[in-house]
């Protein structure tokens, strides 16, 4: 990995294991190696390849997942080296798999399909070079021709998908414009995956949105109306969970969904304060947010899961010292009234701001 990563190797691998679990795989082990630069042929060194190969046989491993993106050549060489039916994939392919399993709306499914095809395009070599080898060189060049044909087909499919996506988005935008004309403020929940966004949404609205202790439980934005005790109301939207090393193809794929954030009246950043890497997760989310046009939107930070920290009192004191931080437990409901008041206070500010713009 490069130096720009916020997470250490062990932590990143732990998260990768959690992603694998989310995808329905059982993790039997992990390993890492420090190299000055990745091996261009196999990413890891030959000794490590041999080590993993023997572990594969000893443990009956079916899939080997790498935490960084691999090139087409590296994927092919590693699969050849490990032999048998061992599947080699990288973090990006794994995340794409999860997104694919979990896309619930037509738009999300289209976005994932598009991202998967764009990921495949430069890697379309494997199958045909296998065939060429089997044919014993008699049809040399056939594989290459076939790859070109396949790439052309894939590019055509990508074009079709893009058009379809465009029309789905246009439709959604029309719907959204109608929503904007209703004077109900929109509050967007953002945060690292597993921070507790769905749980908070459920708590506040009585809706049953899938809340699981897994990464990426939420893929499609869900919007619910929240009625407050004093009669006020707002729309609460749950967005896709962020994660470190989110593949660029996916950031692009979900950009349109994320851009909806820029139309909200308030951003609520939900943090799992009980997580040992809470600081790094905050940074990872801020990084994605900085790439969107949201600097003018008021923000509120929620330190969630206070019930899980060993010294809740200390955490609460720390939160009080900061501006715009509210401690809650979405699970027990602790602090929700305070949260609602804080939202209302913030919305008051943003309404003033809107009125100032529209004389
Ligand atoms: P999301 O990915 O941000 O939507 O996170 P979820 O709402 O799916 O929550 C992830 C996990 O954290 C679930 O197992 C929740 O039950 C758990 N969780 C959420 N809020 C709290 C909380 O306040 N306290 C505790 N202990 N667990 C929580």
Q: Which CATH superfamily is domain 9-101 in?
A: GTPase HflX, N-terminal domain (3.40.50.11060)
Mention every residue, 6+ apart, whose C-beta is less than 8 A from residue 347.
185, 187, 234, 265, 266
Largest CA distance in the chain: 80
Ligand 1 center from residue 331 Cα (angstroms): 7
Ligand 1 and 308: CB distance under 6 A: yes
Is ligand 1 within 6 A of the CB of residue 305?
yes
d(CA 77, CA 45): 12
Ligand 1 binding pocket mutation candidate from 98, 194, 196 (most atoms within 8 A of CB): 196
Q: What residues contact 272, with CB distance under 8 A and at least 6 apart?
A: 191, 192, 194, 195, 196, 278, 281, 304, 305
Distance CA 119, CA 300 (A): 36
Please name which of 72, 63, 107, 67 lies closest in space to residue 90, comparing C-alpha atoms.
67
> Do residues 143 and 131 lie in contact, with contact meaning Cβ atoms separated by under 8 Å?
yes
Query: Which ligand 1 atom sits nearest the alpha carbon of residue 334?
Result: 23
For the chain, strand residue ranges (E) read: 63-66, 87-90, 186-191, 222-227, 233-238, 266-272, 299-304, 325-327
Q: Do domains 9-101 and 184-357 have the same CATH topology?
A: yes
CA distance 236 to 205: 9
**pLDDT value at residue 1:** 41
Tokens of 178: 């109608």
d(CA 28, CA 17): 9
Angle between helices 46-59 and 72-82 (to 10 degrees): 50
Give the DSSP per-residue string, 55-85: HHHHHT--EEEESSPPPHHHHHHHHHHH-TT
DSSP single-letter state for residue 43: B
Q: Is 295 exposed, middle or buried (0-12, 13-18, 19+ CB in 10 A)?
A: exposed
Q: How far is the CA of 13 from the centre of ligand 1 (A)?
A: 21
- The pLDDT score that the predictor gives to residue 4 is 47
- pLDDT of the chain along its 359 residues, tens only? 443 456 788 888 988 998 899 889 999 999 999 999 999 999 999 999 999 999 999 999 999 999 988 998 999 999 999 987 899 999 888 988 888 887 777 887 888 888 889 888 888 765 555 555 555 555 556 667 777 888 899 999 999 999 998 898 888 777 766 655 556 788 999 888 889 998 998 888 765 555 555 665 555 667 778 877 767 778 888 876 676 666 666 666 666 667 777 888 899 999 999 999 899 889 988 887 887 778 889 999 999 999 999 999 999 999 999 989 999 999 999 999 899 989 988 888 766 555 555 44
Cα dihedral 268, 298, 286, 105, rounded to 10, equals 50
Could you tell me the residue ranges of all domains in the chain? 9-101, 103-162, 184-357
pLDDT of residue 2: 41
* CA of 93 relative to ligand 1 center, distance in Å: 26
Q: Which residues of 21-41 are buried (b: 16+ CB within 10 A; e: fewer)?
A: ebbeeeeeeeeeeeeeebeeb
Does the ipTM exceed 0.90? yes
Q: Which of 225, 3, 9, 256 is nearest to 114 (CA)?
A: 256
Residue located nearest, by CA, to atom 22 of ligand 1: 305
Handedness of CA 171, 177, 183, 187 (dihedral sign): positive
CA of 98 to the centre of ligand 1 (A): 19
Residue 113 pairs with which residues in a beta bridge? Answer: none
Domain at 184-357: CATH code: 3.40.50.300
Distance CA(10)–CA(163), nearest Å, equals 41
Atom in ligand 1 nearest the alpha carbon of residue 210: 8
Residue 183 in tokens? 């004077």
Q: pLDDT digits over 127-149, tens only?
A: 555 555 555 555 556 667 777 88
330 touches ligand 1 (CB under 6 Å): yes
Q: What pLDDT score does 101 carry? A: 82
- Rounded Cα–Cα distance for residues 196 and 14 (Å): 19
Residue with tokens 């304060």: 273
- By residue count, the chain amounts to 359
């Amino acid at each position: 990995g490069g130096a720009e990563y916020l997470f250490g190797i062990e932590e990143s691998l732990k998260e990768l294991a959690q992603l694998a679990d989310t995808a329905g795989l059982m993790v039997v082990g992990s390993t890492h190696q420090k190299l000055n630069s990745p091996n261009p042929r196999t990413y890891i060194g030959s000794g490590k390849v041999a080590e993993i190969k023997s572990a594969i046989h000893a443990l009956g491993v079916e899939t080997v997942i790498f935490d960084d993106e691999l090139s087409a050549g590296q994927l092919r060489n590693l699969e050849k080296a490990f032999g048998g039916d061992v599947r080699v994939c990288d973090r990006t392919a794994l995340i794409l798999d999860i997104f694919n399993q979990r896309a619930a709306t037509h738009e999300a499914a289209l976005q994932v399909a598009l991202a998967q095809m764009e990921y495949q395009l430069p890697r379309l070599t494997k199958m045909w070079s296998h065939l060429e080898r089997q044919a014993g060189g008699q049809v040399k060049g056939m594989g290459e021709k076939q790859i070109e044909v396949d790439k052309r087909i894939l590019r055509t499919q990508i074009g079709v998908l893009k058009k379809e996506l465009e029309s789905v988005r246009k439709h959604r935008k029309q719907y959204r414009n109608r929503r904007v004309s209703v004077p109900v403020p929109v509050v967007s929940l953002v945060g690292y995956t597993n921070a507790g966004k769905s749980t908070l949404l459920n708590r506040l609205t009585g809706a049953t949105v899938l809340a699981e202790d897994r990464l990426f439980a939420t893929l499609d934005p869900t919007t619910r109306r929240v009625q407050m005790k004093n009669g006020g109301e707002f729309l609460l939207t749950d967005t896709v969970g962020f994660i470190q090393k989110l593949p660029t193809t996916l950031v692009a794929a979900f950009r349109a969904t994320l851009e909806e954030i820029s139309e909200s009246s308030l951003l609520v950043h939900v943090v799992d304060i009980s997580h040992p890497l809470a600081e790094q997760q905050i940074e990872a989310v801020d990084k994605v947010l900085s790439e969107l046009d949201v600097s003018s939107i008021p923000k509120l930070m929620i330190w969630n899961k206070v019930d899980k920290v060993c010294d809740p009192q200390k955490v609460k004191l720390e939160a009080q010292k900061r501006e715009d931080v509210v401690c809650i437990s979405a699970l027990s409901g602790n602090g929700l009234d305070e949260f609602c008041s804080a939202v209302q206070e913030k919305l008051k500010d943003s309404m003033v701001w809107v009125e100032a713009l529209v004389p």
